[in-house]
């Protein structure tokens, strides 16, 4: 199975983005971009926000889909689809803060590897979300530590 993730939110011939626009699909956005500060244009969009977004996409797919088909309603994360940005921030914060075990989450078998990767990245997301002030991280550090280090060599090949 091959997946393609396209994000055309910043595509435009007439407007040059400043990096402070709130773009994206709320359930998959980085938590910092779901804050009041970000919603008023006071948070610059960074690479780590995109990396975190990818982690949320893996989480959502792992818990909501099986073999490319959506699982039934009433599943964990349903609220992410119906709340506003601030509400989604609260939902994700609760998700991160609760001690969860794989058997509690009903991870779909076809996404077990994705879930393992996403779950291993949560400590990075939580450490940024809870830090004040939030640290400035170089893009290569985010990629190496957040994503690349979490993907088993067998999956990379």
Q: Could you count the other beta carbons within 10 Å of the beta carbon of residue 119? A: 18
| pLDDT profile of the chain (157 residues), mean per 10 | 52 47 80 92 91 93 87 80 94 82 75 89 86 86 87 73
**Per-residue model confidence (pLDDT) at position 17:** 47
**Per-residue model confidence (pLDDT) at position 11:** 47
**Per-residue model confidence (pLDDT) at position 52:** 94
CA dihedral 71, 85, 123, 107 (to 10 degrees): 0
pTM: 0.80
């Amino acid at each position: 199975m091959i997946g393609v993730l396209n994000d055309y939110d910043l595509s435009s011939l007439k407007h040059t983005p400043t990096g402070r626009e709130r773009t994206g699909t709320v359930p998959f956005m980085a938590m910092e971009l779901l804050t009041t500060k970000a919603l008023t244009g006071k948070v610059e969009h960074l690479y780590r926000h995109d990396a975190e977004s990818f982690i949320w996409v893996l989480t959502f797919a792992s818990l909501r889909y099986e073999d490319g088909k959506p699982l039934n309603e009433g599943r964990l994360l349903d609220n992410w689809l119906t709340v506003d940005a601030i509400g989604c921030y609260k939902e994700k914060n609760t998700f991160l803060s609760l001690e969860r075990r794989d058997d509690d989450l009903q991870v779909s078998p076809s996404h077990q590897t994705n879930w393992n990767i996403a779950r291993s990245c949560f400590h990075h997301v939580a450490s940024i979300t809870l830090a004040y002030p939030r640290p400035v991280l170089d893009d290569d550090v985010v990629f190496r530590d957040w994503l690349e280090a979490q993907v088993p060599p067998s999956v990379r090949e």
